[in-house]
Structure 1
Amino acid sequence: MNKRSKEGPKSHPEKNENRSSLPEWYEEDKADQFATRVVSGTGSSSVDIPTPLGISASPPALDSAAQGNKRVGRRRKLALEDYLEGFEQRDKTVFARAITLVESNAETDRNIAQELIRRLLPRTGESIRLGFTGIPGAGKSTLIDTLGFSLCEQGHHIAVLAIDPSSQLSGGSILGDKTRMERLVRHPNAFIRPSPSGGVLGGVARKSRETLLLCEAFGYDVVFVETVGVGQSETTVHSMVDCFILLMIAGAGDELQGIKKGIVELADIIVINKADGENLLRAKAFEREMRNVLHVLSPASRGWKVPTALCSALGGEGIRELWDHVSRYIALRKEQGVFLKNRHQQSLEWLHALIGEYLRRQFYHHPAIKESLTHLTEEMAAGRTTATSALQTLIALYETKT
């Protein structure tokens, strides 16, 4: 093992056109594997889209994040004040470590994370929170890449919480969404965080709400929350965002897309993606069908007629119109005085979810429950007891030995 000198990050000898640095420790013969290399962004055209009402196109600059706080960066363990200082200085390294902190299950980390969020709360709440859902293959990541890149080019700072399917063995996330957002991931105004699902319904990360608050406190003025679009994750994401966008594609079949009444009713905007080339006519026909469906459904928001938008995320067509819909919806909600009320209601739902999570953890970690659960499960499998009877036994054990 080798120790890095106190002079700062080493420059990697290869590829001088890119900036590269090594971590605090690395194996001498594996420097290439441990090096972090920052490459320049790719030039690309963007869609000229307007700024939504109440959101500045030029939030606090995050340029100082590239330099980082060197004093903090060399520490193995950060204290609360280090995190707060890092947020003040827009240090992206500290920001990323703060997100890792809130995702940690260690009790000491949880305590620091909760105090950090409490101290940062006055800096939150100024962003627009957008949720995206749809079946795998609907083009969510590509749409977010195109829309997000265009917003970044307009001067916005974009954070993407890409909720990935987790590994069954490790519980960690994959980077599929991040690799599909090729332009956005290279933009200095963007931050993308694939998150582990943590076992929550539909693959939604257990700590996504805390991560969202950290993004706002750091200065990101538009936050995208993307879900894999399966199971019941849609309802969880809906409870976290200001505007919920459902992506659909023509020709996939209703049964494949899981077009359930409840999911469509949650949507504030419906996007028919991949409306290009030979698929354009099918997309237009499908849009007419969706409009007919919406006529018989109750909209999620009073006074709002859910619009449908034809988009081609690859070509950029329809992106401006989609953002127009978002801007009009946010403006209406603020005009009605329900924008903040909705966020307060979401906070209450978050509280109840945390209570449920805490009680569940306390119950299953109880020694008496651990000892008896396996036996009762075997008894149920053998047909010698019922689920209700097993529950009564477990509750009695928990209450008498707590």
Structure 2
Amino acid sequence: MAAADVLDCKALIKRYTSTRDATKAICSPLVIEDFCIQPCADVSPPKWHLGHTTWFFEELVLLPYISDYQRFDEKFSLIFNSYYKSAGAHWAQKNRGNLSRPTVAEIYQYRQKIDALVVALLETAISHEIVAIVEIGIHHEQQHQELLYMDIKYILHCNPCSPSYSKAPLALASTVRQSWRSFDKQLVDIGHNGEGYAFDNESPQHKSYLNGFSIAENLVSNGEYLAFIDAGAYREPKYWLSMGWDWLAESGITSPLYWRKLDGEWYEYTLHGLAPLDLNAPVVHISYFEANAFANWRVCRLPTEQEFEHYLRSSEDLSASKKSAVFHPLRTGDTAGQVWCWTQSHYSPYPGYKPFEGKLEEYNGKFMCNQFVLKGACVATPINHYRHSYRNFYQAYQQWMFSGIRLAKDIE
């Protein structure tokens, strides 16, 4: 093995082990009873995330590249395969919380065994193909780290005792003067430029024509959103998409996901516990339906993903790489890294899109239907995982992710 390959191998092993350790660290504040809870179909139990991210490396790294490899447990493939049809049958997502076994201890043993084998493989049989798949696996695990924060928050909020995940104090947000940034009509580059890591759905980079537009330099705050509620907008069909109005009627939703009104005062559940609603903090856990309705109420609109990416690139602010012990958005003036912002763009393939090969072909392309793109990262996005070409995506009704609103408008 060449000296350069050895150095690359050591760096990759370090990134692999640190990523795997970070997942365990996210779960460290939990008690054993927290690991198995699944309050709704969108949320997965924390122990499932621990098992699935391990299955990913066993299935895509160890099984193809170690001759005569014997699985840790043949039943784990059924339980921990998420949606890869080419990898065989998988357990229904909505039923993940019904499984008391394997135990949390067994899943941690599974992680330890697979980690040892992956590291041993990287030390002895490095290749460009293996490096590429391990790299995808690392970023896949980072996606699940963000999902863990989302799911843990939902699990804990369902408890009437409002338990805290983090003991760190939650400071009050400061006021930020509202401002807008304008862009002339122009032809711009959209998508990943080929430098560094990116998922397949970020490529290829291509040209996109933008009409003149303005975009808010500030995220919509809780105070602004409360004005929307107080104006009776949840009872006014003119602001809502037809499907959004039906969603309100069916769900009974009248506010963002974690808002609670107690004795006439608004509170918000956070990973730091229940706190009085901070009017200056960014509104978070908003569905596309709500974001679109708010924009209509303000006589604005949501940005397209192309407009948003061009705005992000013009600032080069990668705030998602600046982390603290606070797991709640507090700054409305940040360009990125506080909340994932909804765009009005449907999640679709770029011109010339080519999916990953093999089993990974199912990674992104199969979800390009009935979803909207979000941009900008959030407080739960792992360090160095984010880039401005990143395309997050969710269905219009979903609220449990760290989603918020940045407004846009046309320039006449």
Shared fold per TM-score greater than 0.5: no
Query: Which is greater in Rg?
Result: 1
